[in-house]
Structure 1
């Protein structure tokens, strides 16, 4: 007799790519001790599902709509402080993994490795351990022992979470007023962040800042993952948490 769904590890998947959600759901439901309890494709759905479904673990896309992923992790931990979160992302793990973990996530997987690592990642964080790639682990050790020289992405890595958020929005083509409205901050506050970013990145003026941000974002854009693309796409049906 098989284990009932209620006794299995309940996994909530939050990602706005139907291909990826369907593929990961299939992998989870094919695992004897796991069950996909629900899916979400937006920030609002994710917050609602976390509160209503009370999953044992959350598999979360770091680029979910327009909401900054790092801030979203913090919001989720505010309502579910003990919920293990496994991040799936197209964003460079050498820059974002450490930030995600500091914000409350328990693991970080690049989407290109989702098929190989997601089940191991879920099992690892459920047991209370962190799950990152060998590359990220090696970089963390290198940063601890390195006394001179620069590591990859050092300049941008010096930005605070909010500064990085502003920098990314600048690179996406948003102006200061748009960024202020999007983040719920004042125009003057965003101007201050811009000045801080210019100083930290040694940029001479606003034009150089926007150019630098645009060039950087071009290498960080969230794209639909190729992983699991053999699964048929399911049409988006509704905008509320989908219990399975």
Structure 2
């Protein structure tokens, strides 16, 4: 029986996914959490074979959790399940050590297939992502120059969060977040904070990627 630990901050989605997993022969949910601290404690206690990680968690990010898991349990399989577009995040999380990426708009059959694929030691990604990775990027996305923390902040800015709200979500001071924002603007060669805010909104809406692909 393969033990699955689910880290997801939406209770309805979390319980629904747990139900699907428990109904599947050979799979069993051994624990759930909605934040990084509880996830690490639960993983240590239950010793799962695979952790399903959402990128958006309470008080932190799934990117932080992936880093912590890879440091503490380098052999533990990680599958990312997220609402964020796979084209923007799949390559990043796979390079971080996750073994698969599934978007939340996929059906339970796809999620279960991804879980089984990763448990078998293989990497799971959609054909869309595989094609991108095989072909390589003709032009790099402007966000490729950002660190994992910076990409989190860029995403949150694009979703309309203020500096104070981002600081609260990531458990950092507003000054620290503002310093990150200034670094992001410099890395992306943007002339002003206003231009940065506009680019982040376009990126979240998918406009920035379309422009990059056209280039």
Which of residues 145, 158, 161 in structure 2 aligns to 1:173? 161
More helix per residue: 1 or 2?
2
Q: How far apart, CA to CA, are the structure 1 residues paired with 2:47 and 2:185?
A: 42
Q: How far apart, CA to CA, are the structure 2 residues paired with 1:217 and 1:10?
A: 34
Note if contact 1:51-1:79 (Cα within 8 Å) is conserved in structure 2: no
Q: Give the structure 1 partner of residue 148 of structure 2.
A: 161
Note if contact 1:70-1:99 (Cα within 8 Å) is conserved in structure 2: no
Deviation, 1:90, is 0.3
Give CA-to-partner distance per residue, 1:43-96, whole Å, 9 cap, x none: 222111101111111111111123122122101222222110111000010111
Instruction: Report which structure shows greater RCO (CA 8 Å, sep ≥6).
Output: 1
Give CA-to-partner distance per residue, 1:125-151, whole Å, 9 cap, x none: 1121111111110111121xx6xx436
Give unmatched runs, 5+ long, in structure 1: 1-7, 220-244
Instruction: Report the RMSD for the aligned CA atoms in angstroms.
Output: 2.7
Note if contact 2:60-2:171 (Cα within 8 Å) is conserved in structure 1: no
Note if contact 1:12-1:36 (Cα within 8 Å) is conserved in structure 2: yes
Deviation, 1:177, is 10
Aligned residues: 206
Which of residues 20, 29, 32 in structure 2 aligns to 1:27? 20
TM-score normalized by the length of structure 1: 0.73
User: Greater CA deviation, 47-56 or 165-174?
Assistant: 165-174
Note if contact 2:58-2:169 (Cα within 8 Å) is conserved in structure 1: no
Q: How far apart, CA to CA, are the structure 1 residues paired with 2:54 and 2:177?
A: 28
2:78 counterpart of 1:76: no
Q: Give the structure 2 partner of residue 37 of structure 1.
A: 30
Q: Give the structure 2 partner of residue 235 of structure 1.
A: none
Give unmatched runs, 5+ long, in structure 2: 207-215
2:81 counterpart of 1:88: yes
* Change beyond 3 A, Cα 1:186–1:38: closer
User: Greater CA deviation, 15-24 or 93-102?
Assistant: 15-24
TM-score normalized by the length of structure 2: 0.82
Note if contact 1:179-1:190 (Cα within 8 Å) is conserved in structure 2: no
Deviation, 1:25, is 1.9
Q: How far apart, CA to CA, are the structure 1 residues paired with 2:16 and 2:145?
A: 36
Give secondary structure in 2 for the equivalent of 1:82: coil
Q: Give the structure 1 partner of residue 121 of structure 2.
A: 128
2:195 counterpart of 1:204: no
Q: Give the structure 2 partner of residue 150 of structure 1.
A: 139
Q: How far apart, CA to CA, are the structure 1 residues paired with 2:163 and 2:14?
A: 33
* Change beyond 3 A, Cα 1:99–1:114: farther
